[in-house]
């Protein structure tokens, strides 16, 4: 399977796991429902190709009607100064659709769960908006949607994936930095990249076993970034129109 | 190598657990602490505890009845609270909590009824418009201590379950650095007990008869509990500072360099040390002061854990900013909860005023345990 739309439509159903991937816990497997167990959707983000244009951020907002001040995905951008030289570092962030998601077991109503194809979703007709999953996510990927008043997050554009399309962020990525595909298909681009490249994940010590892999992820950015925080805050835009 | 990282663009996540949650954990912690303080007088029957236990029971009722309102209000979809009861989620501590809370509140009402039954029956003997209602609620004249023993056991189990779930529910959240520390459940319990003693001290001259012996006893207990709070605080710091516990060490490393967090730590330490010293050195005539500081300390601990704790980004640099909104998601929730507590206090003390009895242990015991 490849990241292109044409190849994406011709999905293989091979159920061969990637050797580097750890199995899900029994609890996580039992809780899975919906989706097609023949697939295990995943994303590889090639940081060498990301230009920080935020087209993915915008595409996600438009596709999923993400409310103002909220983001399902964003390209975190850093200026790294080292020995008198500085460079810009881009890091697209989104839900990691972990193999062992810490957000699903804590849910008191079962509103958030993992599908058999690995996509972690939120049923906002069941969610009570308790925010427990928001707390449990180690990646700050979840938030309370101010319009639905329920938990919200990236769902790999599940409505598009189920229709044989790519997630909006992948579709729009100008640099081809986001690659989406099926880990159960050994011929997919994501499977080959995971097998051949030195892929890393965010916060590997958390035991969440993310299914968003990064190529070119520096150690300083794998966990909580130790640096000077950004001066810009979305909520400030209302109070200080000059910042808009 | 000289390296510096400046975050240019990132997302700011707003708090998902609002000040309502602070109010809930504050009130339920105090209620559980107050139940524990009421047991020696009502359940064990210690004569020198009767007045303090009577005050503590009022505190347990006021806070216990207000707490679930704050909890439901913290849900962003409060009208869906029933979803908890149509799901099977045994691996969620919050789900367990949705069952433990009614067990505790039900047990508390049963316990309060059993404990106050002699007073209710006494009110029923007074010729008043509500006499019939009192007699109906009293369900006859209390006989024997068996019911009281049963009710005490029920509320103790309920209080234990609530103390367990409120502590563990927060502790298990590994992603929140400040929450996932093993001492947190014990800190909740002890600070809740301190808050309960604080409210007893404040209410003693207001709804009680201002008995100095109650004040001295509560102040001495407060000093003991605050000593425990300080010991736990030092152990927390020690575990982090000497890297004896990885979670504690990470939590300490995250906040230690921040001037704002250092100020919070100094404030929290003073809010514990000052009432401890006053209660220890001058337990008489200082109840209002030590009580108010103890209440503040218990509330501040929860504010720091929940609101400040959520201001620590999980991936980004620095800290998220938080400004208390004036509406229902902020100040209004705090004021509203306080108003509800005041209302409940007025109703409870109006229906069942504190008994004006000679402060002899024997007389009080006879009043509270007529069959003994």
Q: What pLDDT, in 10s, does the model give residues A142-165?
A: 999 999 999 999 999 999 999 999
Instruction: Please report which confidence band the pLDDT of residue A18 belongs to, taking 50, 70 and 90 as the band edges.
Output: very low
Does A30 reach chain B within 8 Å, measured CB to CB?
A: no
pLDDT bracket for residue B364 (50, 70, 90): very low
A6 touching B (Cβ < 8 Å): no
- Quote the distance between the C-alpha of residue B109 and its chain's center: 17
Q: Please determine, for residue B126, whether its predicted confidence score (pLDDT) is greater than 50.
A: yes
| B160-165 mean pLDDT | 98
CATH number, domain of A102, equals: 3.30.70.20
Residue recorded with tokens 């023949």 = A38
A132 located within any domain: yes
A56 touches chain B (CB under 8 A): no
| Predicted local distance difference test score (pLDDT) of residue A232 | 58
Mean pLDDT of the B180-186 span: 94
Q: How far is A190 from chain B (nearest CA, A)?
A: 24
Mean pLDDT of chain B: 92
pLDDT band at B130 (very low <50, low <70, confident <90, very high): confident
Task: Name which of B1, B3, B7, B19 to mutate to probe chain A: the one with the most chain A Cβ atoms within 10 A of its Cβ.
Answer: B7
pLDDT band at A235 (very low <50, low <70, confident <90, very high): low
145-174 of A, contacting B, C-beta below 8 A:
149-150
Mutation target for B interface from A72, A109, A146, A223: give the one with most B CBs within 10 A.
A109
Q: Domain limits at A182?
A: 5-225
**A206–B175: do the CB atoms touch at under 8 Å?**
yes
pLDDT of residue A231: 62
Put simply, the answer to whether A225 touches B12 (Cβ < 8 Å) is no
Domain count, chain A: 1
Hey, are the CB atoms on B7 and A75 less than 8 Å from each other? no
Q: How far apart are CA B318 and CA B7, in angstroms?
A: 9
pLDDT at residue A10 greater than cutoff 60: no
Q: What is the pLDDT of residue B107?
A: 98
**pLDDT, mean of residues B90-112:** 97
Instruction: Look at residue A240 and tell me whether its pLDDT is greater than 90.
Output: no
pLDDT at A86 over 50: yes
Q: Find where tokens 């011929």 sit.
A: A187
Residue from the list B17, B175, B321 with its beta carbon closest to the beta carbon of A102: B175
Decide if pLDDT at A211 tops 90: yes
What band does B36 get if pLDDT is binned at 50, 70 and 90? Answer: very high
State how far residue A127 is from chain B, nearest Cα, in angstroms.
Answer: 8
Alpha helices in chain B (DSSP H): 19-39, 50-74, 93-124, 131-138, 146-171, 184-203, 212-241, 246-256, 259-281, 287-303, 331-351, 361-368
State the smallest CA–CA distance between residue B317 and chain A in angstroms: 5
Report percent pLDDT > 90 for chain B. Answer: 81
The whole-angstrom distance between A198's CA and the closest CA on chain B is 22
Average pLDDT over residues A102-118: 97
The model carries a pTM of 0.90
Residue A243: per-residue pLDDT: 36
Separation CA B55–CA B222 (nearest Å)? 15
pLDDT in the model for residue B321: 86
Distance from CA of A80 to the nearest CA of B (A): 5
Percentage with pLDDT > 70 across chain B: 95
> Cβ A107–B10 below 8 Å, yes or no?
no
Does the CA dihedral B110-B114-B119-B120 come out positive or negative? Answer: positive
Contact, B66 vs B341, CB < 8 A? yes
**SS3 call for B49:** helix
Is pLDDT of A25 > 80? no
Nearest Cα of chain B lies from the Cα of A118 at a distance, in angstroms, of 20
Mutate to test the interface with A, among B2, B13, B72, B308 (most CBs of A within 10 A): B13
Nearest to B48 by CA among B293, B348, B361, B372: B361
Q: Does residue A123 fall inside a structural domain?
A: yes
Among A167, A133, A209, CA closest to B176: A133
Q: Which of residues 208-237 of A touch B (CB under 8 A)?
A: 220, 223-230, 232-235
Weakest-pLDDT range from B61-65, B120-124, B155-159, B194-198: B120-124
- Count of C-beta atoms within a 10 Å radius of residue B195: 30
Determine contact, residues A120/A94, Cβ cutoff 8 Å. no
Neighbours of B72 (CB within 10 A): 15
- What's the pLDDT score for residue B357? 56
| CATH node for B15-172+323-372 | 1.20.1630
What pLDDT, on a 0 to 100 scale, did the predictor assign at position A31? 67
Say what the pLDDT of residue A234 is.
54
A15, part of any domain: yes
pLDDT band at A62 (very low <50, low <70, confident <90, very high): very high
pLDDT for B315 beyond 60: yes
Q: Which residues of A touch B315 (CB under 8 A)?
A: 76, 93, 139-140, 202-203, 223-225
- pLDDT category, B128, cuts 50, 70, 90? confident
Q: Does A240 touch chain B (CB under 8 A)?
A: no
CA distance A90 to chain B (A): 9
Extents of the domains making up chain B: 15-172+323-372, 180-321
DSSP structure class, residue A139: T
Q: Would the CB atoms of B83 and A130 count as touching at under 8 Å?
A: no
Burial class (CB in 10 A: 0-12, 13-18, 19+), B59: buried
What integer pLDDT is reported at residue B129 of this predicted model? 85
């Amino acid at each position: 399977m490849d990241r292109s739309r044409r190849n994406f439509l011709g999905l293989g159903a091979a159920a061969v796991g990637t050797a580097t991937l750890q199995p899900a816990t029994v609890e996580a497997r039992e809780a899975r429902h919906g989706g097609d167990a023949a697939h295990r959707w995943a994303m590889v983000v090639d940081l060498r190709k990301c230009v920080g244009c935020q087209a993915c951020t915008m595409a996600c907002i438009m596709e999923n009607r993400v409310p103002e001040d909220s983001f399902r995905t964003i390209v975190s951008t850093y200026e790294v100064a080292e020995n008198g030289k500085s460079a810009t570092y881009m890091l697209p962030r989104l839900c990691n659709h972990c193999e062992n998601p810490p957000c699903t077991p804590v849910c008191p109503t079962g509103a958030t769960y993992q599908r058999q194809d690995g996509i972690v979703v939120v049923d906002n007709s069941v969610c009570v908006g308790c925010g427990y999953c928001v707390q449990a996510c180690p990646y700050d990927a979840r938030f309370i949607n101010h319009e639905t008043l329920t938990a919200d997050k990236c769902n790999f554009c599940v409505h598009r994936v189920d229709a044989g399309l790519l997630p909006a962020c992948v579709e729009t990525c100008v640099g081809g930095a986001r690659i989406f595909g099926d880990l159960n298909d050994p011929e997919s681009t994501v499977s080959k990249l995971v097998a051949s490249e030195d892929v890393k994940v965010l916060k590997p010590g958390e035991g969440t076993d993310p299914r968003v892999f990064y190529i070119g992820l520096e150690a300083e950015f794998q966990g909580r970034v130790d640096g000077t925080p950004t001066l810009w805050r979305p909520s400030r835009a209302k109070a200080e129109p000059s910042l808009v | 190598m000289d390296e510096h990282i400046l975050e240019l663009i990132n997302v700011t996540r707003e708090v998902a657990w609002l000040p309502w949650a602070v109010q809930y954990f504050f009130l339920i912690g105090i209620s559980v602490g107050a139940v524990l303080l009421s047991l020696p007088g009502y359940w064990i029957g210690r004569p020198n505890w009767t007045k303090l236990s009577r005050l503590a029971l009022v505190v347990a009722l006021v806070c216990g009845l207000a707490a679930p309102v704050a909890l439901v209000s913290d849900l962003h979809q409060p009208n869906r609270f029933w979803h908890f009861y149509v799901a099977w989620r045994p691996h969620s501590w919050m789900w367990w909590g949705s069952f433990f809370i009614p067990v505790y509140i039900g047990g508390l009402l049963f316990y309060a009824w059993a404990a106050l039954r002699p007073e209710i029956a006494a009110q029923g003997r007074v010729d008043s418009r509500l006499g019939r209602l009192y007699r109906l609620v009293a369900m006859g004249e209390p006989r024997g201590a068996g019911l009281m023993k049963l009710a005490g056991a029920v509320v103790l189990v309920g209080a234990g379950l609530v103390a367990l779930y409120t502590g563990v529910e927060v502790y298990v959240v590994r992603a929140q650095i400040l929450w996932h520390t093993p001492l947190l459940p014990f800190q909740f319990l002890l600070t809740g007990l301190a808050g309960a003693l604080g409210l007893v001290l404040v209410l003693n001259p207001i709804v009680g008869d201002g008995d100095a012996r109650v004040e001295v006893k509560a102040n001495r207990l407060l000093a003991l509990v605050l000593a425990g709070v300080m010991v736990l605080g030092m152990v927390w710091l020690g575990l982090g500072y000497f890297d004896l516990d990885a979670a504690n060490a990470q939590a300490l490393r995250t906040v230690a360099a921040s001037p704002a967090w250092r100020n919070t730590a100094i404030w929290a330490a003073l809010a514990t040390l000052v009432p401890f010293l006053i209660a220890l050195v001058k337990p008489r005539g200082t109840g209002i002061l030590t009580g108010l500081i103890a209440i503040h300390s218990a509330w501040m601990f929860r504010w720091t854990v929940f609101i400040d704790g959520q201001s620590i980004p999980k991936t980004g640099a620095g800290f998220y900013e938080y400004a208390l909104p004036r509406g229902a998601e902020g100040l209004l929730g705090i004021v509203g909860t306080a108003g509800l507590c005041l209302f409940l206090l007025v109703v409870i003390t109006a229906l069942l005023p504190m008994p004006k009895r000679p402060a002899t242990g024997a007389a009080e015991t006879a009043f509270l345990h007529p069959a003994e």
